[in-house]
Chain A
Amino acid sequence: MISITNLSKSYNGKVKAVDNISLEIPDGKIFGFLGPNGAGKTTTIKMITGILTPDSGNILVSGHDIVKEPLDAKRSFAYVPDDPDVFPRLKGSEYLKFIGDIYNVPSDLRLERMKDLSRKFGLEDVLGDRIQSYSHGMRQKLILIGALLHDPENWILDEPMTGLDPKSSFQLKDMMRRHADDGKTVFFSTHVLDVAEKVCDHIAIIDKGRILFNGTVEEMRGEVRNHASLESMFLELTGDTEE
C-alpha cells in the first residue's frame, strides 16, 4: 500500500513538476499512472522511492514515511527506473549478488528466485557477462530480476515494458497480475494506453503536475463511453489543460 498526501515538488523554485497531488494505491491492485511526457510521472515516482525529496506532503510506503523512516520504506519496495543503466562494469551475476546481499535475502530463497526469474526472462546464459555487453532489453530484465529478488510488497515500475520483447513483456504483465492477486501492490507508469486498459485495476492520469483522473478501470470505462475511445478521452483530458 502506498499513500500519497498533498505532494508537491518544484524545480528551481519555479517550475511546479508535481502540484499538490494525493493518491491512494491500495493493496491487491495494479495501479497505472498515465500522462504525457513531462507530466510529472517520473518526478512523483522519484519522490515515492526517496530519490527526490518532496517540497511538501507525505508519502507512506507500507505505512513507513519515506522521509522519516527511509530504510523501512525502502525495504518494502522494488523500483525499476525507466533508464536501465546500472553498473556496466559489473557482471550480471555480481549485480544480482550485490542486490541479494544489500537486501539480506536468505540463501535458499535467493537461489529459488534467481533460478525462476532468470529462466523466465531468458538471462540464465549471460549472467557471467558484464552488463555493458547487454542490450537495452537485457538490462531492463536484469534490473527487473534484481528488483524482484527480495520479493517486496510494493512494485514501483517506471515504464517497465520499454525495450522488452513480447514474451518478456507478457511474463512481466502476468507476474504483475499475480503479485496484485496475492494482495500486494503494483504501481507503474506507462505511455501505452492499451497496456493500461488491459492490465490495470486502477488508473490515475497526471498532466502538468496535477491529477486529472483517478478511478477504477470501470469508472474510466464509464467515462470512455462518452468518448470514442480511451485515447480520445486521454487526449481531451490532457489537451484541455493546455488551453
Chain B
Amino acid sequence: MKRIFILTRVMIKGISSADISGDSASGKKPLKKIGMTLLLAIVFVYMAGLSVTFVHFTYGILSPLGISNLILELVLSATSFVVFFFGIFYVMSVYYFSKDVDKLLPLPVKPGEIILAKFMSTLFYEYIIVLMFLLPAMIAFGVMSSASFMFYLYALITAVLVPIAPLVLASLIIMLVMRFTPAARNKDRFSLFAGMISLVLALGVNFGMQSLMAKTDTNELAEIISGSAGNISGAVSAIFPGNWFASHALNDPDSLLSLLMVFVFILISAVFTAILYFIGNLLYFKGVIGVSSSSARSRKGKTVTMNELATGGDPFRTYVLKEFRLLFRTPIFFMNNVIVGFLMPAFIALPFIVGGGSSEGGPPSLSGIREMVSGITFQQDKGIAPYIILGFFAFLVFTVGTNGITETAISREGKQAYFMKIIPMSYSRQIVAKITTGVLLSLCSAVFLTVVITALLTPPVWLVLLCVTAIPGAVLLPNIFGMIFDLYMPKIKWDNEQKAVKQNLNVLFGMFAAMVMIAVIAVPVIFIDMSFIVSVIYITVLPLLLAAISAYFVNRISSKCMLKLAA
C-alpha cells in the first residue's frame, strides 16, 4: 500500500509541477504562481457558484411538488457522467501517453500496484471536479433542506466514493480499446478525435442550457427536470448502482437503513476497484507497449525526389510556411488555435439561434434580426450603421483574440526555441513571420465569418462593405498586441503540447486584451455624439493606428526579449 502511495505521489508531482512552473524570460515565477492561483480560485468560485445556483433554482421548483430528492440523483448522475467523460482523457494521458511505464516496470513494484497508482493519480484529478461541482451542490442542498449532521457525513463519504466507479469504467473501456485496436495508440489521432468530441459536447451542453433557460413556464420546467432526472439517473444508476444507494441514504440520512445503504455503496466501490486491479493486470501492460506520439508506419510519406528539395524559396515565406505546417499538423495546436477561430462564432450566435425571441428580455430571434438588418436603408438608417459596424468589429476582435496564435507563437516552439536563436534571420523578422501567420489565419476566419453572417442576415451591400473596412484593424490589432505577451512571458518548458496552448496564461491575457480593445473603441462611439462619417472612420482607422503603435513596440522589444529567452 505504501508503495502505491509513493508511486501516486510521484505521478501527480510529475504532472502538476510541470504544469505550474511555466518558463518566463523575466523569471518572475512567484507572480505567475499568484496569477495561476488566482485563476484557479476564480474558476473554482465560478463553477461552485454555478452548481449552487442550479440547486437553488431546481429546489425552488421541485420542493413544492415534494420531489426535491430528484436533485441529488441528478447531481450524482451528472457528476458520474462528467467524471467518466474527463476520465477517458485522464486515463489516456496518465495510463498511456505519459511515457513512464518503461521506467516504472523495472522498479521492484508489482504491476498491479502501478495500475492502482495510476488509477489514484487520475482519481486525484477527478476530485477537483468533485470539489468544484458536487460538494458545493450537496452543501447547498443540505442548507436548503436544513439537513442533519448525518447528511453532511454521508455527503462527504459520497463525494469520496462517487468518482471511483465511473473512473474504473473509463479505465476499463480505454484499456480494452488500447489492447485490441492499434489505431487508437496514435496520440495525434486520439488528440484530434478527443478535441472534436469535446467541442461537439460543449456545443451540445451550451445548446441544452440555452434552450432550458429560454423556457419561462415553471410547470413545464419542473416536468422537463423531473423527466430528465428520472431518465438520466435511472440509466446512470443501472451502470453505477452505488449512486442509487448514495442518493437514497442522503435523502433519509437519519434512518438506520441509510447506514446500511452507505455500507453497500462502500462495498460496491471496493468491488469496482478490485475489478480494475484484476482486469487491468490482464489488459494494461500488453496495451501500453507500442504507444507512440507518432505513427511511423501510417505516416510513411512518399519518397521525395532530390530535385523537389532543391528548389529555393524566400526565407520569410519558408518560415511562415513552417509555422503553418506546425499549427495544422499538431492536433492540440490545430484545435486550440485554428479551429477555435471558426467555431467560436457558433458559440456566440447560439443564444440567438436557439432561444432567440422566445422570452421577453431575452435575445431576439434570428429571423427577427434578419428582418431588421435586411430592411436597413442608407438614407433612413445610416445613424445606426456605426453601431452595426462596431458590433461586427467587436465580434471579430473577440474571435481573433481567442485564437491565441500570436499569444503562444514562441511558447509553441518548446524545446526547439533554441533554433530561433541560431539561424541567420533577425529576431524581429522571425517575430514578424509569426505575426503574419496569425494575421493570415485570422483573416481567413474573418472572411469566413463575414460570408456566414452575410448569408444568414442578408444585410444590404453598402453595410457589408462598411463592415469589411473594419476587418484590417480587427485582425491586425489583436494579433500584433498578443505577440507582446509571448515575448515577455514565453512558456517554452513543456513536455506536452497542451501546456503550450491550453495551460498558457498568455491566451487568457490575449482574450482580456481583446475585451479592453473593444471597450476602447466602443465607448467613444457610444457616448460621444459623432457624425456617421467620423464614427465609421474612427472604428476603422483607430485600431490600425493602435496596431501600428503595437508593431513599433513589438519591433523595439523583440530582440531584447529573444536574447533573454533561456532556450
Residues of A at the B interface (CB closer than 8 Å) are 46, 49-53, 70-72, 74-75, 79, 81, 83, 85-91, 93-94, 96-98, 100-108, 110-111, 114-115, 118, 125, 127-130, 132-133
**Alpha-carbon distance between A111 and B110 when the two chains are bound, in angstroms:** 55
Residues of chain A contacted by B293 (CB below 8 angstroms): 88, 132
Contacting pair B318 A87 (CB below 8 A): no
Contacting pair A102 B319 (CB below 8 A): yes
Q: What are 12 of the A-B contact pairs (CB < 8 Å)? A: A51-B418, A87-B326, A93-B304, A93-B308, A100-B309, A100-B312, A102-B423, A104-B315, A105-B312, A107-B310, A107-B312, A129-B300
Residues of chain B contacted by A118 (CB below 8 angstroms): 306
The minimal Cβ–Cβ distance linking B59 to chain A, given in whole angstroms, is 51
> Does any Cβ of A come within 8 Å of B301's Cβ?
yes
**Alpha-carbon distance between A27 and B374 when the two chains are bound, in angstroms:** 76
**Alpha-carbon distance between A132 and B286 when the two chains are bound, in angstroms:** 23
Residues of chain B contacted by A125 (CB below 8 angstroms): 303
**Assuming A71-B426, A130-B294, A133-B295, what are 8 further A-B pairs, CB within 8 angstroms?**
A50-B422, A71-B424, A90-B322, A101-B313, A102-B319, A115-B306, A118-B306, A132-B299
Residues of chain A contacted by B325 (CB below 8 angstroms): 89-90, 94
The minimal Cβ–Cβ distance linking B88 to chain A, given in whole angstroms, is 24
User: Which of A81, A85, A97, A127 is most buried by chain B, counting CB atoms within 10 A of its CB?
Assistant: A97
Given contacts A128-B301, A133-B299, contact A101 B418 (CB under 8 A): no
Per-residue interface assignment for chain B, residues 423 to 457, with 1 indicating a CB less than 8 Å from any chain A CB and 0 otherwise: 11110000000000000000000000000000000
**Alpha-carbon distance between A51 and B303 when the two chains are bound, in angstroms:** 34
Contacting pair B424 A102 (CB below 8 A): yes
Residues of chain A contacted by B302 (CB below 8 angstroms): 128
Number of B residues, CB within 8 Å of A: 42
Contacting pair A101 B312 (CB below 8 A): yes
**Alpha-carbon distance between A102 and B317 when the two chains are bound, in angstroms:** 10
Residues of chain B contacted by A72 (CB below 8 angstroms): 424
The minimal Cβ–Cβ distance linking A137 to chain B, given in whole angstroms, is 14
Residues of chain B contacted by A81 (CB below 8 angstroms): 418
Contacting pair B303 A89 (CB below 8 A): no
> Does any Cβ of A come within 8 Å of B464's Cβ?
no
Given contacts A104-B312, A107-B311, contact A90 B419 (CB under 8 A): no
Closest residue of chain B to A67 (Cβ to Cβ) is B563
Contacting pair B301 A129 (CB below 8 A): yes
**Alpha-carbon distance between A135 and B453 when the two chains are bound, in angstroms:** 49
Contacting pair A87 B426 (CB below 8 A): no
**Alpha-carbon distance between A125 and B304 when the two chains are bound, in angstroms:** 8
The minimal Cβ–Cβ distance linking A5 to chain B, given in whole angstroms, is 20
> Does any Cβ of A come within 8 Å of B34's Cβ?
no
**Alpha-carbon distance between A70 and B313 when the two chains are bound, in angstroms:** 23
> Does any Cβ of A come within 8 Å of B296's Cβ?
yes
In B232-255, which residues have CB < 8 Å from any A CB?
Answer: none
Closest residue of chain B to A111 (Cβ to Cβ) is B310
Contacting pair B423 A89 (CB below 8 A): no
The minimal Cβ–Cβ distance linking B343 to chain A, given in whole angstroms, is 22
User: Which of A72, A98, A104 is most buried by chain B, counting CB atoms within 10 A of its CB?
Assistant: A98
**Alpha-carbon distance between A96 and B306 when the two chains are bound, in angstroms:** 11
Q: Closest 7 A-B residue pairs measured CB to CB?
A: A128-B301, A132-B294, A133-B296, A111-B310, A101-B318, A74-B424, A89-B329
Contacting pair A83 B415 (CB below 8 A): yes
**Alpha-carbon distance between A98 and B300 when the two chains are bound, in angstroms:** 20
Contacting pair A49 B314 (CB below 8 A): no
The minimal Cβ–Cβ distance linking B144 to chain A, given in whole angstroms, is 53
**Alpha-carbon distance between A41 and B471 when the two chains are bound, in angstroms:** 51
**B419's contact among A46, A86, A104, by CB below 8 Å, is which?**
A86
Residues of chain A contacted by B36 (CB below 8 angstroms): none
Residues of chain B contacted by A127 (CB below 8 angstroms): 303-304, 309
**Alpha-carbon distance between A74 and B302 when the two chains are bound, in angstroms:** 33
The minimal Cβ–Cβ distance linking B219 to chain A, given in whole angstroms, is 56
Closest residue of chain B to A78 (Cβ to Cβ) is B422
Closest residue of chain A to B419 (Cβ to Cβ) is A86
Residues of chain A contacted by B416 (CB below 8 angstroms): 85-87
Residues of chain A contacted by B16 (CB below 8 angstroms): none
Given contacts A90-B322, A90-B325, contact A101 B309 (CB under 8 A): no
Contacting pair A49 B422 (CB below 8 A): yes
**Alpha-carbon distance between A88 and B304 when the two chains are bound, in angstroms:** 18
Per-residue interface assignment for chain B, residues 265 to 297, with 1 indicating a CB less than 8 Å from any chain A CB and 0 otherwise: 000000000000000000000000000011110
**Alpha-carbon distance between A91 and B322 when the two chains are bound, in angstroms:** 11
Given contacts A51-B567, A97-B309, contact A102 B425 (CB under 8 A): yes
User: Which of B312, B326, B330, B424 is most buried by chain A, counting CB atoms within 10 A of its CB?
Assistant: B424
Per-residue interface assignment for chain B, residues 64 to 100, with 1 indicating a CB less than 8 Å from any chain A CB and 0 otherwise: 0000000000000000000000000000000000000
Contacting pair A114 B306 (CB below 8 A): yes
Residues of chain B contacted by A129 (CB below 8 angstroms): 296, 299-301
**Alpha-carbon distance between A106 and B311 when the two chains are bound, in angstroms:** 8
Contacting pair B318 A102 (CB below 8 A): yes
Contacting pair A51 B318 (CB below 8 A): no
Closest residue of chain B to A110 (Cβ to Cβ) is B310
**Alpha-carbon distance between A149 and B59 when the two chains are bound, in angstroms:** 72
Per-residue interface assignment for chain B, residues 537 to 567, with 1 indicating a CB less than 8 Å from any chain A CB and 0 otherwise: 0000000000000000000000000011011
Closest residue of chain B to A72 (Cβ to Cβ) is B424
The minimal Cβ–Cβ distance linking B301 to chain A, given in whole angstroms, is 3
**Alpha-carbon distance between A98 and B329 when the two chains are bound, in angstroms:** 16
The minimal Cβ–Cβ distance linking A224 to chain B, given in whole angstroms, is 35
Contacting pair B301 A51 (CB below 8 A): no
**Alpha-carbon distance between A215 and B496 when the two chains are bound, in angstroms:** 44
Residues of chain A contacted by B17 (CB below 8 angstroms): none
The minimal Cβ–Cβ distance linking B35 to chain A, given in whole angstroms, is 22
**Alpha-carbon distance between A90 and B326 when the two chains are bound, in angstroms:** 7
> Does any Cβ of A come within 8 Å of B502's Cβ?
no
**Alpha-carbon distance between A108 and B310 when the two chains are bound, in angstroms:** 7
